Amino acid sequence: MKYSLLKIIKEGITGNKNWRPIWRDPEPKKSYDIVIIGGGGHGLSTAYYLSNLYGLNDVAVIEKGWIGSGNVGRNTTIIRSNYMLPGNEPFYELSMKLWEGLEQDFNYNAMISQRGILNLCHSDAQRDAFARRGNAMKLAGADAELLDEDGVRQVCPFLDFENARFPIKGGLAQKRGGTVRHDAVAWGYARGADNKGVDIIQNCEVTGFKIDNGVCRGVETSAGFIKANKVASCVAGSSSKVMGFAGMRLPIESHVLQAFVSEGLKPILPGVITFGAGHFYVSQSDKGGLVFGGDIDGYNSYAQRGNLPVVEDVCEGGMAIMPMIGRSRLLRIWGGIMDMSMDGSPFIDKTDIKGLYFNGGWCYGGFKATPASGLCYAHLLATDEPHEVATEFRLDRFINGNMIDEKGVGAQPNLH
Amino acid sequence: MIIDHPLLGPRDANEFVYLGDANLINRPDWTEKDADKQFYEYLYLRDNPSGYHRELWYHEQGDRSWLIVTRNTSTHEIKQVELAKDYHLEKSKSK
């Protein structure tokens, strides 16, 4: 069923009786060519690109809960490609381009809104660093614009420019950045993959791998053994758990990141705004709520809820750039579990076990990467070669010293 | 979270800085033959368990001691707190 204006009008005048579930709920088959573990954004987009771009549809996505129940429905919905290092920026720019055409591509309304992202800077040194980053972005084909204080005033007159400690000196804007309705991304990819024959198996937990002489033959699940030629793990947040079944130790720690939504307010924020002197980012949803977040809590956690010191820290960041935020009331706070890697960058790679592939380590930047992650992972699974923009996301990069450390803080995951 | 410091009693976790897995105390010997592999595993690979995890916390805004906290990463419950110094002394005695 293709969505269109005509279809909506037709259904509207005939009582909306013919809408159908947009993906099946199949029983798992005994065997598949490719089994993807994890029905989150990345797993579903991998299945979508495998079936739609690489013509492989003997694929199953196995999800422990229901699709969209993990981090794809728990993030702050920001998309951007304002990275700096050569290993990262072309990948995120590919992701940005895929976002731009995504709704037409998978015929689903994901409410992609390129309302722009503005990183504020608070000192001359930071402006220099932003200029460098902006130039690196432009070299990779992304857009970037360095704004002075007046430029920022024109778009966000309500900010606290005269803040005694962190006066706002300007900012780096990426106008193509923005926000997306995150769970619609999961649904859209699921529908697109399902239409091509991919089985999306929900409420089915992977409990182990079957590995013979270094070759992965399939997965043990709560619904029995499923044979597969290739098994693709895509469970950021729980990567250590799942890859632990295969006896692997990963360069990853799991951490909790909290997110916040205020009560609905009249439109005030033009786009995404980030604080440059602490860690705070905010946007306004179409319902009017301020959606914001900050740092991870900083200790290993699988608890999907955080603690109060970070709530205070995030709110202090908000108060420092826009004091009016103190008048709004918080509606919801929640936490999600992040794969924090040792250099702050992700992995899309084969493993030493033949037929077992790994995608993870997305830190708290996984959502914006959803389309490119799926595309690159599908490319790796289909061709056994890394996609040209994902060649550096290797699992062995710490052995040979090819880290992609955007922040330059070393092997300290809670600082990335 | 409240960390029950062995010397100072219950303290807010906010007074501490978190380092990570307590295994970071066991630094490999650089004179060993496969020291490069051992250091790679020591520095970059983690067990990252869901459940009890022994980890290093530094009491920066207190007595500046290093603690080994045994904490459940699924519930944030803290089971045991010991001084890293005591652990280290115990370890060097048994050598």
pLDDT digits (tens, 9 = 90+) for A108-130: 999 999 999 999 999 999 999 99
The whole-angstrom distance between A295's CA and the closest CA on chain B is 14
A301 SS3 class: coil
CB B1 to CB A307 under 8 A?
Answer: yes
For residue A300, what pLDDT is reported?
97
User: Domains (ranges, CATH) in chain A?
Assistant: 5-81+83-108+182-251+343-415 (3.50.50.60), 117-177+253-341 (3.30.9.10)
Residue B49 sits in a domain of what CATH number? Answer: 3.30.2270.10
DSSP category for residue A109? -
State the Cα–Cα distance between residues A118 and A176, nearest whole angstrom.
11
Determine the average pLDDT of the residues in B3-29.
95
Total domain count, chain B: 1
For residue A1, what pLDDT is reported?
77
Q: How far is CA A338 from the centre of its chain?
A: 10
pLDDT by 10-residue block (mean), chain A, 416 residues: 91 93 95 97 98 97 95 96 95 97 96 97 96 96 97 96 95 97 96 97 97 96 97 96 96 97 96 96 96 96 94 95 94 95 97 97 95 98 97 95 92 91
For residue B91, what pLDDT is reported?
83
B94 — pLDDT class (breaks 50, 70, 90): confident
CB A251 to CB B44 under 8 A?
Answer: yes
Q: Specify whether the CB–CB gap between A343 and A392 falls below 8 A.
A: no
CB A309 to CB B75 under 8 A?
Answer: no
For residue B95, what pLDDT is reported?
65
Phi, psi of A55 (to 5 degrees): 65, 20
The tokens describing B86, both together, are 């005591």
**Residue range(s) defining the domain that contains residue B20:** 2-94
Half-sphere exposure of A297 (CA within 13 A, CB side): 29
The whole-angstrom distance between A307's CA and the closest CA on chain B is 7
CB B48 to CB A300 under 8 A?
Answer: yes
Q: Identify the CA nearest to B88 among candidates B47, B32, B27.
A: B27
The tokens describing A309, both together, are 């010191």
Percent of chain B with pLDDT over 90: 91
The whole-angstrom distance between B19's CA and the closest CA on chain A is 8
The residues, ordered by sequence, that sit 6+ positions from A222 with a Cβ below 8 Å of its Cβ are A204, A205, A207
**DSSP per position, B2-55:** EEEETTTEEEEGGGSEEEEEGGGGSPPPTTSTTHHHHHHHHHH-B---SSEEEE
Per-residue model confidence as pLDDT tens digits over A355-394: 999 999 999 999 999 999 999 999 999 999 999 999 999 9
State the Cα–Cα distance between residues A359 and A344, nearest whole angstrom.
14
For residue B90, what pLDDT is reported?
87
For residue A279, what pLDDT is reported?
94
The interface pTM score, or ipTM, of the predicted complex is 0.95
